[in-house]
Amino acid sequence: MSLSVVVPVHNVAPYLAEALDSVLAQDDHLAEVIAVDDGSTDESPAILASYAERRPDLLRVITTDNAGSGAARNLAAGQAEGDYLTFVDPDDVVLPGTWGRMLELLDRTGSDFAVCHFERLHADGGRSTLRWADRVHATPRERARLDDVPEIVGDVFCWNKVFRRDFWQDHGLAFPEGTRYQDQPAVTEAFLRSTAFDVTPEVGYLWRVREDGSSVTQGRAELGNLQDRVTTKRDTWNLVRELGSPRVQEAFRDRVAPGDLHQFFAALADCDDDYWELFRSMLLELWGPEHSLARTRLLPSHRLMGWLVEQDRRADATALWGHVASATRPLPVRPTADQQGLALDTSALFTDAVPEDVVRLRDDEIGWDATAEEVRRGWRGHELTGTVAVRRLGAREPFRLKVRSLEAPVLTHRLDTPHGPVTLTGPVTLPTTEAR
């Protein structure tokens, strides 16, 4: 089991040594490390030369004019000779033992590639996770198919995966060149073309958050960044339509593709007309009237934000995001017209109407599992009645909702009744007609 590691390098001198140390520390499984100096103008070339002098048996440096990390990765991957292939960004860290575990897993399962969990690495050394990543990497999987876990198509990163080199080359996988966000089309195609892949829940890779905002993914407010994002989303969506099952297409449309839009929403308040029109045209092209962002799995305020952009309600979108960005509490809610559910209350932000299906909360968003602050109960004739005050459902004024049933997850609860004490052993489900 031999592994080729590809490292594209461009002006990352403050982080490069730590990245290379983490790579070379796993030399038991390395066939080669191919670093491509992509026209760096800082101290990165000198750092690469120093490491190549110390480890000539493993590290090979290729020097090119600046063409972007996609071109650098493709150049090195085309020269790789190991049985397996992986990629490392030059400002990140590979944790000890990661590749050994993944190679052993692949050797046992015969899958096309393996995926490990990752965490964000902050300047103070702290680490954090992303909820969607925790979710899709939580379960160990061997020889999984994309239909088994379609949401994992949102793991668009090349650096937390180890591929069989023949799988990568036989399918002609390559990164787009001359654009940002190169990972997504290539990795999405790998998922779509694989017959089986493995998932390991152990965290094996640290993705650095640059506090100076200098990374590609932190420049969302730039028009060129948005243009590249539109191209990436369009190309990836076309791949999913061509190769993905209906289940995968639904996951991509409703969960994956909209997942980073909140970062672009934040730029809309101060953007120029060109940025607004390009962003709006992207939403209409990729989701359109049939699959509005209002019907995706975004957060309620984000669904509303997307709908406002689709409707070209720029002032209202700006007002909404101003509240989302600055408020310590979520938007208040109100009862729906049929009193069967809850909806966002936007009356304090703008006066123009919003269709109720756009602002209505899904059942799993209402939060009925919140802790009860107060319970009052009593007997009315032979009928047990009660009131529960629930936290975290902000409202401007009291309102009533019809409730079909109420499940009380109590283990043992004593009630004093006109006929003597009664002990309830839960969970208890009580039919109810109205909640206030």
Residue 343: pLDDT band (50, 70, 90) is very high
Is the pLDDT assigned to residue 345 strictly greater than 90?
yes
Question: pLDDT tens-digit profile of 87-123?
Answer: 999 999 999 999 999 999 999 999 999 999 999 999 9
pLDDT of residue 330: 77
How many Å apart are CA 354 and CA 362, to the nearest integer? 17
Is the pLDDT assigned to residue 249 strictly greater than 90?
yes
Angle, alpha carbons 219-224-228 (nearest 5°): 90
Residue 10 is classified by DSSP as S
pLDDT of residue 405: 59
Is the pLDDT assigned to residue 411 strictly greater than 70?
no
The pTM assigned to this predicted structure is 0.81
* Share of the chain residues as helix, strand and coil, in percent rounded to the nearest 5: 40, 25, 35
Higher pLDDT, residue 210 or 51 = 51
Within 10 Å of residue 116's Cβ, how many Cβ atoms? 24
Yes or no: say if 102 and 5 are a contact pair by the CB < 8 Å rule. Answer: no
Higher pLDDT, residue 393 or 301 = 301
Higher pLDDT, residue 334 or 421 = 334
Is the pLDDT assigned to residue 157 strictly greater than 70?
yes
Mean pLDDT (the chain, rounded): 87
pLDDT of residue 363: 81
Is the pLDDT assigned to residue 213 strictly greater than 90?
no
Question: pLDDT tens-digit profile of 114-126?
Answer: 999 999 999 999 9
Yes or no: say if 55 and 47 are a contact pair by the CB < 8 Å rule. Answer: no
Is the pLDDT assigned to residue 402 strictly greater than 90?
no
Peptide bond into 427 cis (omega under 30): yes
Is the pLDDT assigned to residue 375 strictly greater than 50?
no
Strands 59-64 and 30-38: parallel
Higher pLDDT, residue 15 or 288 = 15
| Phi, psi of 318, rounded to the nearest 5 degrees | -65, -40
Is the pLDDT assigned to residue 308 strictly greater than 50?
yes
The closest of 285, 402, 395, 376 to 334, measured between CA atoms, is 395
pLDDT of residue 370: 41
Q: For the chain, how many residues are written?
A: 436
pLDDT of residue 10: 98
In the block, tokens 């490990």 appear at: 116
pLDDT of residue 256: 92
Yes or no: say if 23 and 90 are a contact pair by the CB < 8 Å rule. Answer: no
How many Å apart are CA 377 and CA 381, to the nearest integer? 13
Is the pLDDT assigned to residue 384 strictly greater than 80?
no
pLDDT of residue 420: 64
Is the pLDDT assigned to residue 146 strictly greater than 70?
yes
Please, what are the domains in the chain? 3-214 (3.90.550.10), 258-333 (no CATH), 372-431 (no CATH)
H/E stretch holding 171 reads: none
> What does the longest C-alpha to C-alpha distance in the chain come to?
90
Quick one: tokens of 162?
A: 């180890």
Question: What is the three-class DSSP state of 161?
Answer: strand
Yes or no: say if 96 and 25 are a contact pair by the CB < 8 Å rule. Answer: yes
H/E stretch holding 44 reads: helix 44-54
Please tell me which of 40-49, 231-240, 339-348, 394-403 the model is most confident about, judged by mean pLDDT: 40-49
Yes or no: say if 282 and 233 are a contact pair by the CB < 8 Å rule. Answer: yes
Is the pLDDT assigned to residue 381 strictly greater than 70?
no
Which DSSP string do the residues of 189-256 spell out, in sequence order?
HHHHH-S-EEEEEEEEEEEE--TTS-SGGG-TTSHHHHHHHHHHHHHHHHHHHHH--HHHHHHIIIII
Distance of CA 94 to the CA centre of its chain: 20
In the chain, the N- to C-terminal Cα span, in Å, equals 64
Is the pLDDT assigned to residue 373 strictly greater than 50?
no
